Structures are given as structure tokens and as C-alpha cells.
Amino acid sequence: MLTLGVEEEYLLLDLGTGLPRARAEQVCRTAGLQPALAEAEIQRELLQVQLEVATPVCRELEEVGGHLLRLRHALGAAAVTDGCRLAASAAAPFADRLTVPITDTARYRAMRTDAPQLTDEQLITGMHVHLGIPDRATGVLVMNRLRPWLPLLVALAANSPLWQGTDTGFASWRTIVFSRWPVSGPPPRFENAADYDRRTRALVARRLIHDRGQIYWHIRLSDHYPTVEVRAMDVQLRPDEAVLLAGIVRVLADQAISDDRAGRPGSAVEPEALAAAVWHGARHGSTSEVFDPVHGRLVAVGDAAATMLDSVDPALTRSGDRRHIVPVLERLLREGNGATRQRRVLREHGREGLIAMISDQTTGT
């Protein structure tokens, strides 16, 4: 099986009001005093209300889950010490009209100069799954064969229904916000690694983007590590649901490699249909239909998930990860994803109840 690592982005919310609080520098400093955290595991993000953690390279899903719990607990304790909550909500549910300051680096200053409104509204957080690959050719193969499953991944992972105190009507508003950047959304299909490198370098050479770090496709190759990065998912309220999604991504990729070696064709979805299907997944999440790439049409989310599990059954058997994936997926389909639960708690317990739930589920308390 492929090795994997997970990055999670979090928001810092005020303990009392639930509004974004620009305390990233202070929380990082406090977290650095804790023996459970290594300095390289925490990174600052674009806005001073965001932090990112990264697990080490893992071989087993149990490792991923253990590291995420450790990182969330330690960073959550540091946040409370500095008067805020760590929140694994993929969009800030409440916000005032004050501009959140950016992290003061040359790259982030340039981004704000280029797109001030987009930068100010980047109050969103995701999770990224890095899969270790033997070469970039395998990475492009994985990209091409995972593209059709992006609508289901977006729908299952949706955890950002609220924006500035308003229900957006979308399950993943983060997906919509991120789609406004120049190079974002589902990636195109590439012929090979050389085609990927030629086309991505051309974006920089034509000065359409500053660097390849501004390629925000849902799946991309890393320029720094031998990995393919799947970044379509909202950050998850529950750590075990983050592990679930990481496991799904890995078995999809493992099965894709096996199918290619066996000469089995992958699902073909036209780029315009795929873009529309991702939008549909972001709009409805796990509460309606989602695009099923095997049958080429919208079906109930549970049916699409069952089709996906059938398609990766050999990889599930090889990995031994069925016990980490199937029960959690069944619970998610039964109880709803993060977006469904956020709406339910807000309706039943109000604003204070929602903020408490987000904070508690983030750290598994």
C-alpha cells in the first residue's frame, strides 16, 4: 500500500463569541512549549486565524488517527491557553466585518495585493492527503483515475454550511470559495508527467500565476515531495472521519494503480460534467444525490458510496483497512456529515451550542 500523510487546517475562534481570532502567532508559540508537538508539525497559514498541522509519513491508518488526535489535543490546549478555541470547521460560521490580518510573509503579501477580497474571505480550512508515489508518472495516473471520484469525496467531506452567520444553502461553501482562484477545482486530464510539467510551468511562464504553489486543483503533484496531493475535502469535525477520508483516498489510488497495470479502463467523465458534479456535491453534500462515475449519473449518496466500495474491494482486502473505513462511513451516511450535524446543532442548541460542539468534536472530547 502507498504511504500517506495528512495535513489539516484549523480556525481559531474566540472562546466567548465564536468569532475568528487572530492569535496564530501566540498559539504557535504556546504550542511550541509542549513536548507532544514538534516545531515542524505546525505551520502558519494565509490568515492569522488559521493554523495547519501535518502528520509524519504513515503506513497504517491507525498511525494517521493517532497523530491527528495528538496534534489536535496539543494544539487545542495551546489555543485555550491563549483565549481561543481550535475549530475544525471548514468555514468560519460567524464573522464580524473587520478584516482579518494576513500572515506577514512576502508570498502572502503578494497574494493580498493581487486579490484583496479573495484573501480577506479565505476564512476556510481543508484537509490534504499526500500519497507516496514511486514516480511522477504514477502520480499523473492516480490524478487521472481519481478525478471522477471527486464529487463523492466533496459530498462526503462537506463541513462548511455557514458563512458570516448565514446558512449558505451549500454543504461545502469552502469548495465554492476556493473555486474563485485562477487555477482551482477538478484538474484536467494529463497525458503523462511531461504533459503535467509542461502545462503547469507554462502557467508561471505566462505570468498567470506567481508560482506552482498557486495551483489549487483538487488533486496535484507535489513539487517538494514524491507525493500526489488530494486536497478536495473540507477539514473534518471528527478525527475518525478524517481517517476515513484518508483511507478512501488511499484505496482509490491503490486500486487505480492495480487497474492500470491490469489494463482495465477507468471511468471517463467530460470536464464540464465533472465540474458540474463537484458543484452539485458541494451544494447537497450527503443529503441528496451525488454523481456516480461508474454508472455516469446522479444516484443516492449511499448507492454511490456502495459502488465506490465495490470498485475498490481488492484494495480494501489488501490493505486490511475495511474495519477503519466501512463502519465510519456507515455512521456518516446514517448521522450525516459535518455540514448536516452543524445545521442540526445550530437549529437545536443555537449559536453557543454549535461553537461548543465544533470545539469538542475537533479535539475528540
| Per-block mean pLDDT, blocks of 10 residues, the chain (365 long) | 96 94 92 73 92 96 96 94 95 89 92 93 97 96 97 98 96 97 97 97 95 96 94 97 98 97 90 97 96 96 97 95 96 97 96 94 80
pLDDT tens per residue across span 50-89: 999 999 999 999 999 999 999 999 999 999 999 999 999 9
300-312, pLDDT tens digit by residue?
Answer: 999 999 999 999 9
The three grid cell numbers given for residue 360, joined into one nine-digit string: 469538542
DSSP characters over 272-338 = HHHHHHHHHHHHHTTSSEEEETTTTEEEEHHHHHHHHHHHTHHHHHHHT-HHHHHHHHHHHHHH--H
Kind plus residue range of the DSSP H or E element containing 166:
strand 166-167
Alpha-carbon distance 173 to 179, whole Å? 10
C-alpha–C-alpha distance, residues 6 and 111, integer Å: 25
Cell 491563549 sits at which residue? 82
Domains parsed from the chain with CATH numbers: 4-362 (3.30.590.20)
Instruction: Output the nine-digit C-alpha cell for 352.
Output: 453557543
Report the chain's mean pLDDT, rounded to a whole number.
94
In this prediction the pTM is: 0.96
Number of Cβ within 10 Å of residue 220's Cβ equals 22
